[in-house]
């Protein structure tokens, strides 16, 4: 039923006029839009950064928003460092920066200009394991192994801290024993979660490298 209003408009003419107005309002946007070439991609910002990773210099042009973890894994293919929670809560991504352990998922790569980064690949090689790697093997300090690279890097960093901030590469050779209780070790390693609950074997491995194997204080 097309009843007219007092102005002479019918319901049909109002609807048609309204639709035409919407189309007209959208038309300038379509006309003024920049044509996009097929396959064209937006240029991402790039920042140059220089780091030493596992003893080798790297000069890289990277997205300033990329994390150190993603740089290591995606661009340098050093996949030993694992992405677990990506929120700094599990410790699977732990690496050593200037001998200090950090969660690589929580820091931007561009913040580490000139820094020395050591990943699990840089601690030792299959035929020349770092003492901590060898201890984890001999004490079965892992099960699924996903957290193991972070556990080992964190343990090496922890002993370096307790030895007066000694850089990680120096602790390759055993030095003076480090004495601590199991409770203190658990507290210092609390940022590294083992979902398989292999903590007793992890503690035994760390104690061996600390030079206090078998001690319970």
In this predicted model, what pLDDT tens digit does every residue of 117-127 receive, in sequence order?
Answer: 999 999 998 89
Q: How many CB atoms lie within 10 A of CB 182?
A: 14
pTM: 0.75
**Nearest-CA neighbor of 95 among 192, 4, 17, 173?**
192
Identify the band that residue 170 occupies on the pLDDT scale cut at 50, 70 and 90.
Answer: very low
The architecture that CATH gives domain 47-210 is Roll (3.10)
Q: How many residues belong to the chain?
A: 217
Q: What residues form DSSP beta bridges with 101?
A: 96
| Cα(123)–Cα(158) distance, integer angstroms | 14
Domain boundaries, the chain: 47-210
Rounded to whole angstroms, what are the CA distances from 128 to 132, 134, 205? 11, 9, 17
Task: Evaluate whether 73 touches 55 at the Cβ level (below 8 Å).
Answer: no
pLDDT tens-digit series, residues 176-205? 678 888 899 999 999 999 999 999 999 999
171 phi, psi to nearest 5 deg? -80, 10
């Amino acid at each position: 039923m097309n009843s007219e209003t007092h102005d002479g408009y019918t319901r049909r003419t109002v609807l048609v006029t309204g639709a035409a107005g919407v189309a007209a309002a959208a038309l300038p946007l379509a006309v003024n839009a920049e044509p996009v070439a097929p396959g064209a991609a937006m240029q991402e910002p790039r920042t140059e950064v220089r780091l030493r990773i596992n003893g080798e210099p790297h000069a890289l042009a990277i997205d300033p928003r990329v994390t150190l973890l993603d740089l290591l894994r995606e661009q340098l293919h050093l996949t030993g460092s694992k992405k677990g929670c990506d929120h700094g809560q599990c410790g699977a991504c732990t690496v050593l920066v200037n001998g200090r352990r950090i969660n690589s998922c929580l820091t931007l790569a561009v913040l580490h200009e000139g820094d020395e980064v050591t990943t699990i690949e840089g601690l030792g090689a299959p035929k020349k394991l770092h003492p901590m790697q060898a201890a984890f093997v001999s004490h079965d300090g892992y099960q699924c192994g996903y957290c193991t690279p972070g556990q080992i890097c964190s343990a090496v960093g922890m002993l370096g801290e307790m030895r007066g901030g000694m850089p990680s590469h120096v602790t390759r050779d055993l030095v003076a024993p480090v004495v601590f209780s199991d409770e203190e070790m658990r507290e210092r390693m609390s940022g590294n979660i083992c979902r398989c609950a292999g903590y007793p074997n992890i503690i035994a491995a760390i104690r061996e490298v600390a030079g206090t194997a078998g001690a319970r204080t």
